[in-house]
């Protein structure tokens, strides 16, 4: 597969459509049971969810439509589960309203995301590269 945005992220204008500076965001860990579909809209559309974690600080919206946030150091993958996908979404507290924004199934170096659960923290470390978590290019 690939690391791709959802249609929500493309349809919502960056200026005012997504509150990067003051909104609440969540990262969702999924198993291989979830297959990316660009038209999936909310957290209710996800299958194979094995863990969720709030992103601990507000996002920064920088030059070049870049979104960045603090690393997530609270996600625990249960023993017997296998994390193979990460999903970024809004966090409204209601799964039907948590709009999906981006999907990852590969690390920066091109290797697939693959994290067997062992009841310990599985840190989600965002890229330190220029595109950070995600960058939208016109």
3-state secondary structure of 64: coil
Q: What is the pLDDT of residues 14-71, one digit of tens each?
A: 545 777 777 788 999 999 999 999 899 999 999 999 999 988 666 665 555 566 667 7
Dihedral sign (CA 4, 67, 107, 86): negative
User: What Rg value do the Cα atoms of the chain yield, rounded?
Assistant: 14
Q: Which two tokens stand for residue 133?
A: 């978590």
Rounded to two decimals, what is the model's pTM? 0.84
Give me the residue spans of the domains in the chain.
4-135
More confident residue, 72 or 120: 120
Q: Which two tokens stand for residue 123?
A: 């840190």
Q: Which two tokens stand for residue 138?
A: 């016109």
3-state secondary structure of 95: helix
C-beta of residue 69 within 8 angstroms of C-beta of residue 59: yes
* Alpha-helix residue ranges (DSSP H) falling in 16-88: none
* Average pLDDT of span 107-128: 84
């Amino acid at each position: 597969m690939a690391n791709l945005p959802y249609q929500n992220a493309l349809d919502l204008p960056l200026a005012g459509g997504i509150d990067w500076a003051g909104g609440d965001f969540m990262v969702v860990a999924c198993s291989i049971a979830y297959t990316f579909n660009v038209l999936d809209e909310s957290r209710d559309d996800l299958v194979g969810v094995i863990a969720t974690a709030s992103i601990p600080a507000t996002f920064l919206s920088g030059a070049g439509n870049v979104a960045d946030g603090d690393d997530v150091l609270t996600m625990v993958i249960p023993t017997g589960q296998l994390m193979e996908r990460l999903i970024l979404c809004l966090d409204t507290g209601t799964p039907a309203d948590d709009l999906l924004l981006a999907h990852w199934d590969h690390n920066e170096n091109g290797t697939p995301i693959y994290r067997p659960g062992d009841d310990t923290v599985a840190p989600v470390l965002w890229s330190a590269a220029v595109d950070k978590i995600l960058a939208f290019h016109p």
